[in-house]
Amino acid sequence: MYFIHLPQINEMNYFNNVLDSIGNTPLIKINKLCSTTKAKVLAKVETTNPGNSVKDRMALKMVEDAEELGLIKPGGTIVEGTSGNTGMGLALACIVKGYKLICVLNDKQSKEKMDILRAVGAEVVVCPTAVEPEDPRSYYSVSKRLAEETPNSWYVNQYDNLSNRKAHYESTGPEIWEQTDGKITHFVVGVGTGGTISGVGKFLKEKNPNIKIWGIDTYGSVFKKYHETGIFDENEIYPYITEGIGEDILPENVDFEIIDAFEKVTDKDAAVYTRKLAREEGIFVGNSAGAAIKGVCQLADQLTEDDVVVVLFHDHGSRYIGKIFNDDWMKERGFLDEEKKVAKDIVISHEGKRLVKADVNDPLSMVMVAMKQFDISQIPVFENGKMVGSISDHNLFKKILDEPEIKEFPVKNVMEAPFPSVDGTTPINEITSLFNSNNRAVIVNYDKDKQHIITVQDMMNAVGANNN
């Protein structure tokens, strides 16, 4: 029998309803993905909100402000044109507060998104995508019409409803300030309605006007050009894939004065980096998070080691299972080739283990013990920090059988040629060609001064030859 020792708890610790659990999301250090920058990069990961996105914060605030202004009355109906995160946040608020919710979606949205909204009680109205915004069948027109026709209803309009950015001014901004102990120097985030960047940015700049606020934009969106030139250029507008960020309108929630710069990230990079966040950091988040972290990498040369960058990740990766995390979807769009494995991808998995090496003057008996202890077949030999040779079990044991007395000789007397060296970005198909019957390992130099070994076994694992 096990006795579990729990700390003495004098008071119960719970939320009165799901809405009270919104906020207080964690700040998590990015350890591998931003190796090009010397700055400390911290991710504000919003997936622990009950609706799995940052949008819970603004959805609740918009509803509560509408209640205070008398725009929505008990038993009323809330109407919004939303496909995902805001709809989920509104649905939670409606459940707790007793309102009905109508979400108007266009028919390009996935069935999963519609089912998720229905799961939390929303009525889903689907409109055709291939019509102009002014067409009475468009989702803009239908949302407005439903709000006008439905008694005791209220149309949210997250783009121009300024309670959106106020929510972030009141909660997200102060959390980031406190979590970084006021040391934040840069805030980076994807921009859609503009609520997150404008609210957080305003709060942070009031605390310290030197903090830089950088918005992440997509190719196909008007934001960057408008910010830099004041021109709303319709030529900038074309269809793109990245979800949640970029616009073909200027929402009232975007406060261009607060934003220091916009950086554009391609659809492909956003998708590839969303997958990297999951695989290399264990942070399973959505498409706009991939764009945001790639934006930080692109801006690395503007950051120093004294900088503390906070990058906000909006939503959960589970919403993108059929797209970004689906290999076929990625391949159809030509997004997967950048994921070809390189040398660093292979050594990263055994980074926790030290590279076992020998010095030219070590006796061979010591090398034999190391091979046995660490269950390895080859060891690089170093002299004054430089690789000058190698020892492999196959050749070593042949030599010892012929001349048993060499066991106490220094390694330099019997060592073979050094293993070939590659850098971390070398594709694995190039590494494969370096292996042959005389050479059973390759040394990888990566991340400035790190070094590790790739063996035949590692190559087999990398190409999927082992199924365990």
Output helix, strand, coil percentages for the chain, rounded to the nearest 5: 40, 20, 40
Active-site choice (40, 44, 55, 268) = 55
CB of 101 to ligand PLP, least distance (A): 17
Strand order in the sheet with 308-313: 27-29, 40-45, 308-313, 186-190, 212-218, 261-265
Compute the distance between CA of residue 42 and CA of residue 75 in angstroms, rounded to an integer: 42
Q: Around 113, how many Cα atoms within 13 Å sit in the side-chain half-sphere?
A: 22
CA dihedral 275, 276, 278, 280 (to 10 degrees): 160
Q: Which stretch binds ligand PLP (CB under 6 A): 29-37, 237-245, 373-381, 402-410?
A: 237-245
CB of 168 to ligand PLP, least distance (A): 7
Among 193, 218, 390, 426, binds ligand PLP (CB under 6 A): 193
Residue 288 or 378 with smaller CB distance to ligand PLP: 288
In the range 75-94, which residues lie near ligand PLP by CB under 6 A? 85
CB of 69 to ligand PLP, least distance (A): 21
**Cα torsion angle, 273, 297, 45, 258, sign:** negative
**Cα torsion angle, 70, 73, 76, 82, sign:** positive
Helix axes 85-97 and 55-68, enclosed angle (nearest 10): 50
Beta-bridge partner residues of 310: 42, 187
Q: If DSSP codes are grouped into helix, strand and coil, which group holds residue 38? A: coil
Compute the distance between CA of residue 359 and CA of residue 370 in angstroms, rounded to an integer: 12
Among 192, 201, 380, 389, binds ligand PLP (CB under 6 A): 192
Query: Contact 117/87 with Cβ under 8 angstroms?
Result: yes
CB of 262 to ligand PLP, least distance (A): 12
In the range 364-423, which residues lie near ligand PLP by CB under 6 A? none
Q: By CB under 6 A, tell whether 244 contacts ligand PLP.
A: yes
Query: Contact 296/37 with Cβ under 8 angstroms?
Result: yes
CB of 291 to ligand PLP, least distance (A): 8
In the range 84-143, which residues lie near ligand PLP by CB under 6 A? 85
Q: Which DSSP symbol is given to 278?
A: I
Among 66, 188, 191, 283, binds ligand PLP (CB under 6 A): 191
Residue 193 or 221 with smaller CB distance to ligand PLP: 193
CB of 143 to ligand PLP, least distance (A): 15
Across 67-141, the runs of DSSP E, i.e. the strands, are 77-80, 100-106, 123-127
Among 87, 190, 201, 389, binds ligand PLP (CB under 6 A): 190
CB of 163 to ligand PLP, least distance (A): 12
Residue 173 or 190 with smaller CB distance to ligand PLP: 190
Q: By CB under 6 A, tell whether 288 contacts ligand PLP.
A: yes
Q: By CB under 6 A, tell whether 52 contacts ligand PLP.
A: no
Residue 262 or 419 with smaller CB distance to ligand PLP: 262
Residue 335 or 382 with smaller CB distance to ligand PLP: 335
Residue 173 or 192 with smaller CB distance to ligand PLP: 192
Among 23, 87, 195, 380, binds ligand PLP (CB under 6 A): 195
Residue 81 or 244 with smaller CB distance to ligand PLP: 244
Single out the residue of 73, 151, 87 nearest to residue 124, CA to CA.
87
In the range 309-368, which residues lie near ligand PLP by CB under 6 A? 314-315
CB of 153 to ligand PLP, least distance (A): 22
List the Cα angle 293/297/303 in 5-degree steps: 115
Residue 398 annotated in active site: no
Give residue for tokens 């066991």. 407
Q: Which stretch binds ligand PLP (CB under 6 A): 102-110, 189-197, 259-267, 360-368?
A: 189-197
Compute the distance between CA of residue 105 and CA of residue 124 in angstroms, rounded to an integer: 7
* Residue 304 dihedral angles phi and psi, to the nearest 5°: -120, 175
Which residue has the CB atom at the shortest distance from ligand PLP? 244
Q: Which residues bind ligand PLP (CB under 6 A)?
A: 85, 190-197, 243-245, 286, 288, 314-315
Catalytic residues: 55
